[in-house]
Amino acid sequence: MLSIVILTYNSQKQIQACLDSVFRQGTKDIKVVVIDNASSDKTREIIKECYPLVKLIKNPKNLGASKARNQGIECSFGEWVLALDSDVVLKDGFIEKFETIKDLLADDVGMIQPNVLSRNGKMIYSQGVHLTALRRFHDLNQGKPKDFTGGSVEQIIGPCSAAAFYRRSMLDKLKEKTGYFDERFFFLVEDVDLAWRAKRAGWKVLFYSQMVCCHTGNSSGTNEKFRQYLCFRNRHWMITKNENFWGKVKVYAFSIPYEFVRGIYLAIFNKYFWMKS
């Protein structure tokens, strides 16, 4: 069985297309769990009325993406978990292609990155997360035409959690006191942190271009200043957790002037910089 874990937050405009694409796949051997982070729109009503097979977890407040994904994983079944954002639409045959390859994978493949395209399907949104030598991260080939063939799986550390397969045995071995996904991150960078931990433990990632889906991006409408602050804070948390001593020396030796200026800018112009972590 494959469990599909979907996050929602005021997702009434996207969730039907997402769930319709899941149930259109033609396979019965799936369990769908939706974790709603206190939507104030009609997201919950739509799910309850139109999708009786979905297990809906209703959080009393927005607990963040990391916590919500962990809740979904905790109540899921099967050897693989597919994490999806609510604005992702699976192309036909997506799950069938996964079923074709899953039993052929080496035991140390713990993550699978689908081919995630933009909303209109014309551009690449993500073919995996690339982590640079200075520990900056971006989605590989984002913005390139969908038929672009540059780049390789060797360039990615793990999948973008907008649409990502995770092997349960890997998740169980990587689980920390703060969860599978580190709940302190709240939102953003948590998938990079998990992928880095997986790589350190010897797990591998596979990019499978034939599994195609489309992703809108930032459907939650998260405040841009809040996203900016979380990217800054969570990146440093990720480096502190995962980089060795000499790696930290290298990263900050080359980037400290930029990081200092950026920190000063955020301290002056971003109110979230002073929030309690």
**Which residue ranges form the domains of the chain, and what is each CATH number?**
2-215 (3.90.550.10), 224-274 (no CATH)
Rounded CA separation 77/30 (Å): 9
pLDDT at position 273 is 84
Contacts of 246 (CB under 8 A, 6+ apart): none
pLDDT tens for the chain, residues 1 to 277: 899 999 999 999 999 999 999 999 987 789 999 999 999 999 999 999 999 999 999 999 999 999 999 999 999 999 999 999 999 999 999 999 999 999 999 999 999 999 999 999 999 999 999 999 999 999 999 999 999 977 677 889 999 999 999 999 999 999 999 999 999 999 999 999 999 999 999 999 999 999 999 999 876 667 789 889 999 999 999 999 999 999 999 999 898 888 889 889 888 988 888 876 5
pLDDT at position 96 is 95
For 64, the token pair is 């963040």
Rounded CA separation 205/198 (Å): 9
pLDDT at position 221 is 65
pLDDT at position 29 is 85
Task: Give the pairing of strands 2-8 and 30-36.
Answer: parallel
Please state the separation of Cα 58 from the chain's center in Å. Answer: 20
pLDDT at position 211 is 96
> Strand (E) positions, the chain?
2-8, 30-36, 55-58, 80-85, 88-90, 109-117, 124-126, 129-131, 137-139, 163-167, 204-215
pLDDT at position 277 is 58
Rounded CA separation 277/273 (Å): 9
For 79, the token pair is 């050897």
pLDDT at position 1 is 85
How many C-beta atoms surround the C-beta of residue 118 within 10 A? 17
Give yes or no for a contact between 117 and 212, defined as CB atoms under 8 angstroms apart: yes
Distances (CA, A) of 18 to 23, 105, 171, 198: 9, 27, 24, 28
pLDDT at position 94 is 97
182-213 in b/e form (b: 16+ CB < 10 A) is bbbbbbbbbbbbbbbbbbeeebbbbbbeebbb
Rounded CA separation 221/213 (Å): 21
Contacts of 255 (CB under 8 A, 6+ apart): 134
The model's pTM is 0.94
Task: Give the pairing of strands 109-117 and 163-167.
Answer: antiparallel
Sign of dihedral through CA atoms 259, 261, 267, 271?
negative
